[in-house]
């Protein structure tokens, strides 16, 4: 059974079938495996069903996701702004994937203010703040890719999913669950994984590309973070890692290179909260992860202009990095009680 409201599905189906030819799919800025996987999976189905469909990403995505691009390479907004603006202008429908707030559109946010094309939102973040014509949002789902599968199934379009689309969707599920290690306790995730494998998804290749695909420099950067840069606050069951712009240059940083680094400190016994701060252009970009009940999204929203899920969230700071780090350290005592719970 599908989790979506049947009536909304029928209305979308009718609308897509009658009034829509050109479609643009947009995931969030700094797109990760789920953002790219969900977008390319849906793009595959829409193209195979005869739509003129394109994926526009606000900025560049990690190289280890390049192999998923065989069915339509994402167009990068900050490198092809005019082409992207034209595609958006001509679109009959826009899909927003894997985000709940237009702030997450990056440089695209400004341009979208002048656009009134109907939006279909497919997302698994709490409290969507996007005004969408159709909203398929469920915070209990492993990933947006899983929701996209549900959406395709509800619209009777699974026959248009090719092996490369199946690879993209399974990449989203595996990326957002850390290869089924978190937020992966529901039957539907495994049913859909099985269906995607039936459709030709290659689980081994996906795992290799996501987790065993480090460049030497990236591996050494991880080593540097863990041996030189990890601060542990045992009394708050918290760990912190940070990287300056100079260090990133030193290790020949590419987008996606620090993906997943924030998770490592959670392998230290007793640590339930991990933070990763990194200088990025003029801001400090921050990732938070937790185990158990600590709500990193509330922490991030309250102090670092961010949001996300309970156990995985992010934010940013316009302060110089040393001040942003001092702020983080100074906040921990007021969270001592919450951090002491499992």
CB atoms within 10 A of CB 311: 20
Name the residue among 161, 98, 163, 107 with its Cα closest to residue 308: 98
Q: Judged by CB, which is closer to ligand 5GP: 53, or 287?
A: 287
**Using CB atoms, what's the residue nearest to Mn ion?**
34
HSE of 79, CA atoms in CB hemisphere, 13 A: 8
Q: How far is the CB of 303 from ligand 5GP (least distance, A)?
A: 12
* Cα 73 from Cα 113, distance rounded (Å): 25
Q: Judged by CB, which is closer to ligand 5GP: 51, or 304?
A: 304
Q: Judged by CB, which is closer to Mn ion: 71, or 98?
A: 98
Q: How far is the CB of 176 from Mn ion (least distance, A)?
A: 5
Which residues, 6 or more positions from 142, have their beta carbon under 8 angstroms from its beta carbon? 124, 173, 176, 177, 183, 184, 186, 189
Name the residue among 317, 254, 271 with its Cα closest to residue 30: 254
With CB under 5 A as the contact rule, the residue among 44, 71, 98, 146 that binds Mn ion is: 98
Window 125 to 154, contacts with Mn ion (CB under 5 A): 144
Residue with tokens 């899920």: 309
Name the residue among 191, 97, 177, 173 with its Cα closest to residue 137: 97
Report the partner that residue 150 touches, choosing among Mn ion, ligand 5GP, none (CB closer than 5 to 8 A by kind).
none
Report the partner that residue 287 touches, choosing among ligand 5GP, Mn ion, none (CB closer than 5 to 8 A by kind).
ligand 5GP
Report the partner that residue 312 touches, choosing among ligand 5GP, Mn ion, none (CB closer than 5 to 8 A by kind).
ligand 5GP
Q: Judged by CB, which is closer to ligand 5GP: 72, or 315?
A: 315
Percent of residues in the chain assigned helix, strand, coil, to nearest 5: 50, 20, 35
Q: Judged by CB, which is closer to Mn ion: 98, or 150?
A: 98
Report the partner that residue 44 touches, choosing among ligand 5GP, Mn ion, none (CB closer than 5 to 8 A by kind).
none
* Cα 221 from Cα 279, distance rounded (Å): 15
In this structure, what token pair is assigned to residue 67?
A: 């192999």
Window 149 to 178, contacts with Mn ion (CB under 5 A): 176
Window 211 to 230, contacts with Mn ion (CB under 5 A): none
Q: How far is the CB of 307 from ligand 5GP (least distance, A)?
A: 3
Contacting positions for ligand 5GP (CB under 6 A): 32, 101, 104, 125, 287, 306-309, 312-316
Contact predicate 168/176, CB 8 Å:
no
Q: Judged by CB, which is closer to Mn ion: 238, or 260?
A: 260
CB atoms within 10 A of CB 187: 7
Q: How far is the CB of 224 from Mn ion (least distance, A)?
A: 28
Q: How far is the CB of 109 from ligand 5GP (least distance, A)?
A: 12
* Among the residue ranges 23-31, 92-100, 104-112, 271-279, the one whose residues contact Mn ion (CB under 5 A): 92-100
279 binds Mn ion (CB under 5 A): no
Report angle CA 17, 125, 94 to the nearest 5 degrees: 30
Q: How far is the CB of 223 from Mn ion (least distance, A)?
A: 28
Which residues, 6 or more positions from 68, have their beta carbon under 8 angstroms from its beta carbon? 36, 37, 40, 164, 167, 168, 171
Report the partner that residue 32 touches, choosing among Mn ion, ligand 5GP, none (CB closer than 5 to 8 A by kind).
ligand 5GP
In this structure, what token pair is assigned to residue 259?
A: 């993906």
Site for Mn ion, rule CB under 5 A: 34, 98, 144, 176
């Amino acid at each position: 059974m599908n989790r979506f409201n049947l009536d909304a599905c029928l209305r979308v189906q009718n609308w897509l079938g009658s009034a829509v030819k050109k479609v643009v799919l947009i995931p969030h800025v700094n797109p990760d495996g789920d953002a790219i996987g969900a977008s390319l999976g849906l793009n595959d189905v829409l193209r195979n069903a005869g739509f003129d469909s394109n994926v526009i990403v606000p900025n560049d995505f990690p190289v280890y996701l390049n192999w998923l691009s065989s069915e339509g390479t994402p167009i990068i907004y900050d490198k092809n702004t005019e082409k992207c603006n034209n595609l958006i202008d001509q679109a009959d429908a826009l899909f927003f994937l894997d985000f709940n707030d237009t702030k997450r559109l990056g440089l695209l946010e400004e341009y979208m203010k002048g656009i009134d094309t109907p939006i279909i939102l497919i997302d698994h973040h709490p409290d969507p703040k996007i005004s969408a014509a159709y909203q398929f949002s469920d915070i209990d789902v492993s990933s947006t890719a899983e929701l996209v599968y549900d959406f395709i199934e509800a619209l009777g379009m699974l026959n248009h999913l090719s092996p490369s689309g199946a690879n993209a969707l399974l990449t989203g599920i595996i990326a957002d669950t850390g290869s089924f290690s978190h937020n992966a306790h529901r039957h539907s995730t495994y049913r859909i994984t099985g269906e995607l494998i039936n459709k030709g998804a290659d689980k081994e290749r996906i795992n290799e590309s996501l987790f065993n695909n480090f460049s030497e420099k990236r591996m050494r950067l991880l080593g540097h973070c863990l041996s030189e840069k990890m601060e542990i606050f045992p009394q708050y069951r918290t760990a912190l890692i940070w990287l300056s712009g100079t260090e990133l240059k030193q290790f020949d940083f590419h987008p996606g290179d620090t993906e997943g680094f924030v998770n490592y400190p959670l392998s230290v016994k007793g640590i339930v909260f991990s933070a990763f701060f990194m200088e990025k252009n003029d801001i400090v970009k921050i990732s938070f992860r937790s185990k158990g009940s600590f709500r990193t999204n509330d922490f991030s929203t309250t102090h670092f202009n961010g949001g996300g899920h309970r156990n995985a969230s992010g934010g940013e700071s316009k302060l110089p990095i040393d001040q942003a780090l001092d702020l983080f350290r100074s906040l921990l005592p007021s969270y001592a009680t919450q951090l002491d719970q499992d």
